[in-house]
Chain A
Amino acid sequence: MGTEIWGAILQIVIMISLAYPLGKYIARVYKGEKTYLDFLKPVERLIYKVGGINPDKEMNWKTFLRAMLTINLFWFVWALILLVAQGYLPLNPDGNGGQTIHQAFNTAISFLVNCNLQHYSGESGLTYFTQLAVVMLFQFVTAATGMACMAGIMKALAAKTTNTIGNFWNFLVKSVTRILLPLSLIIGFILILQGVPMTFDGKMEVNTLEGKVQNVSQGPTAAIVAIKQVGTNGGGFFGANSAHPLENPTYLTNTVECIAIMLIPMAMVFAFGFYVKKRKLGFSIFGVMLFAYLVGVFINVHQEMQGNPRLTSLGISQHTGAMEGKEVRLGSVATALWSVSTTTTSNGSVNGMHDSMMPLSGMVEMLNMQINSWFGGVGVGWMNYFTFIIIAVFISGLMVGRTPEFLCKKVEAREMKIASLMALLHPFLILAGTGLAAWLAVKAPEFVSREGGWLGNQGYHGLSEMLYEFTSSSANNGSGFEGLKDNTWFWNILCGLVMILGRYIPIIGQVAIAGLLAKKKYIPESAGTLRTDTLTFGIMTFVIIFIIAALAFFPAHALSTIAEYLSI
């Protein structure tokens, strides 16, 4: 057990110490300053040329958003067509068929919004062609979309008074070439050395030691695993995601992959501090997020190490912790750490089955996603926190009787209205969706059984499964309580819609707030300014986030996770 805890500490220490220099680097990239990777300029110029783009043309926030939404619309159609037609396309050695239209709808949206919820299993639901031209491509470009939007917001907040917030295409391309691609290559190399497959051969047939035939699925796994971890995507190559021994063969790969989950989300927070030249503000935001993350880690590690009380009462020796849905080479501690990392960021990859984890671990996982702003998805996580900063500035401004200002700009009613809407949208989507599903499960059992019966577990845990699915969809996380049989019309369509709303409305709102603030008059700091880079303000933001989440979600948890915890 001791070595497992040291392993977790190692992972946390490395992720933080790598995130700081990376954050510094990211700020330089978006500012267009000199970096080590400037030799990539010809590649970028070529991309601009093929794309017919002028990367120097400044955009105002509306043009910026229009560009973002247009390319996303195009990607949606692209994915939908390829997924339905994949059976007829090349690179399909296992002869997998096309997806049904509602499944393709869900899959297309899921990867488009950087959610990577998977209502199919990678071994049979996709071909190598769609794994690369849809899944992997989107894992790069949709992560870059989130980062580009954050870059726009940083530019808006750093400027004195301006109408423009930078060029969307420029930020998009640079996020791929300067940040995501190099990191994915490094991680890909490590994974390949450790035995993660990278091949275009089909299944490998082996005769086992006891003389049975075993078909081992493989494929270009390393390429996808690297970017799915780095870009807070999480969509695994195989059904079992990073619990699969070919996706995550050793403790070393597990360490690298878990660090990769947190790396960019953490670095983005530092990057903000460097970009707006307020390092202390960056640190204080980082501190709040890290605190919330570590609390979650502590609870989950404790829960999983203790094991399942029901098994203990059966007299089973749980010296390695709760092992249902976990792998021996990773151990219960590393799985608990991963479960918190993947839900605080909106990554959603798993190295053990969340559905089988202890009730309180499940609660922490869901709360992380329901709050969705501790580190969060690349770019968008920080943007969610930004929404709450606006609210915190406004409230604390009123409390101490000062004009609410953030980074020398007045926060007024219009920004506050947008921020409140953003903060309430997420709980609304989750709870309305879960409410509807629970209502149908009780009131329309014929409908549910016609759909194949949804729940893999009954009682409190069944409600947890539905709550988790909507939470994960709205937070664009993509992990799941996979006992839920979710490849049905109801879940595919409804989760698809929730994912779209949960992705684009917040981005539009947050970019709009930044665009509106950028246009305002610059008010130099004075003795009357409310300081936002202090510990007090950090705590204030934390409390506001926590209270909103608690008020919205406590009743739902009381009926699901907490009820199960108390009854177990």
Chain B
Amino acid sequence: MKIVYIKSIINGLIKSFRLTIAFCLLLGIGYVLVLWTFSRIASPNNGKAEVVYSKAENKDQSHKIVGAANIGQEFHSNKYFWGRPSSAGNGYDASSSAGSNAGPSNIEYLKKVEQRREIFLKAHPYIKHNDVPAEMVTASGSGLDPDISLQSAYLEIRRVAKARGISEKYVKQIVDKCVQHPLLGIFGPEKINVLKLNIMLDNK
């Protein structure tokens, strides 16, 4: 009786092994290969992360890759628009995405938010104390958020224009050109990709 029982278990395990191999062939190879082939044809960058280029500095140079289109970068210089605070590695580390996971009542976190606001206010002395937008003092979920809202970009215009020595009106024009509208015009938030905006500024 016992031997029959053990035999049936072993039998079941062998069946399981064979079925798993069959699934590996169908999914691990078949399904993956279909999607991989499709990505070679239809994806924006042959299946790799989409990249953005800066303009060549002279005629001999080819366009240079300066980043992944969807991955945010750290900006400190006054010449550039700034993105959001990041908790990925030491900031915008695209090989270890992470949020801060700080709870809403965490005291150290609230202190950090206050510090960030002071830094933001120092860099933009012309804005009112109560106008600092939440997204500029809070870390994003991935730590790689490439976007900021239109309101935040408008607040930064004067600083960038001053650092570059160009008119605010001109910078605003570029910002407005970079606005990405909601899906079909009505679904989801309006936003601006900071990296693309900064490249556009450099190229003008």
Interface residues, chain A, with chain B CB atoms under 8 Å away: 3-4, 6-7, 10, 43, 46-47, 50-53, 66-67, 70-71, 73-75, 78, 121, 123-124, 132-133, 136-137, 140-141, 169, 173, 176-177, 181, 184-185, 188-189, 192-193, 195, 197-201, 203-204, 206-210, 212, 214-218, 220, 222-223, 226, 238-240, 243-246, 249-252, 254-255, 307-308, 310-311, 314-331, 334-335, 350-353, 355-359, 456-461, 464-465, 481-483, 564, 567-568
Contacts and interface: CB of A to CB of B under 8 A. Distances in A.
A199 B92 CA distance: 22
B183 A7 contact: yes
B32 A47 contact: no
Given A181-B26, A243-B142, 16 more contacts: A3-B187, A3-B189, A47-B23, A51-B15, A188-B38, A209-B67, A209-B75, A209-B80, A210-B73, A214-B92, A249-B50, A314-B114, A323-B134, A325-B100, A456-B102, A568-B105
Interface in B108-141: 109-110, 113-114, 117, 129-135, 137-141
Interface of B: 9, 12-28, 31-32, 34-36, 38-39, 42-51, 54, 64-77, 80, 84, 88, 92-106, 109-110, 113-114, 117, 129-135, 137-149, 151, 182-183, 186-191, 195, 198-199, 202
A356 B15 contact: no
B47 A192 contact: yes
Given A133-B28, A206-B68, A251-B187, A316 B105 contact: no
Given A208-B73, A245-B71, A330 B66 contact: no
B50 to A, nearest CB: 5
Contacts of A252: 183
Nearest to A3: B182
A36 B19 CA distance: 25
A204 B101 CA distance: 27
Contacts of A197: 39, 43, 47-49
Closest 7 CB pairs of A and B: A243-B141, A483-B101, A51-B19, A461-B103, A251-B188, A353-B99, A240-B97
A52 B141 contact: no
Contacts of B43: 192-193, 195, 197-198
Contacts of A251: 182-183, 187-189
A243 B70 contact: no
Nearest to A326: B141
B195 to A, nearest CB: 7
Contacts of B54: 209
Contacts of A328: 84, 135, 140, 145, 147-149, 189, 191
A245 B72 contact: yes
A251 B133 CA distance: 21
Contacts of A46: 22
Contacts of B94: 214-217
Contact of A320 (B64, B102, B142, B149): B149
B96 to A, nearest CB: 6
Contacts of B69: 195
A457 B68 contact: no
Nearest to A200: B36
Given A70-B9, A243-B140, A331-B189, A320 B133 contact: yes
Given A176-B27, A244-B142, A209 B195 contact: yes
A331 B180 CA distance: 14
Contacts of B145: 245, 327-329
Contact of A195 (B70, B104, B143, B149): B70
B77 A210 contact: yes
Contacts of B117: 314, 316
Contacts of B14: 52
Nearest to B106: A457
Contacts of B67: 206, 208-209, 214
A244 B105 contact: no
18 contacts: A3-B187, A46-B22, A47-B19, A70-B12, A137-B24, A204-B49, A206-B66, A208-B73, A243-B140, A246-B49, A246-B70, A317-B131, A320-B189, A322-B104, A326-B138, A329-B145, A350-B141, A483-B102
Given A195-B69, A324-B104, A353-B141, A482 B50 contact: no
A173 B133 CA distance: 51
A192 to B, nearest CB: 5
B48 A50 contact: no
A185 B140 contact: no
B65 A206 contact: yes
A314 B113 contact: yes
A309 B49 CA distance: 38
Contacts of B48: 197, 199, 201, 204, 218
Given A198-B35, A210-B77, A316-B137, A482 B95 contact: no
Nearest to B51: A206
A421 to B, nearest CB: 26
A137 B27 contact: yes
A245 B100 contact: no
Nearest to B17: A74
B96 A123 contact: yes
Contacts of A457: 101-103, 105-106
Nearest to B9: A70
A329 B28 contact: no
Nearest to B13: A74
A356 B102 CA distance: 5
Contact of A317 (B21, B77, B101, B133): B133
Contact of B110 (A141, A244, A314): A314
| Interface-centre pick from B68, B149, B195 (highest chain A CB count, 10 A) | B68
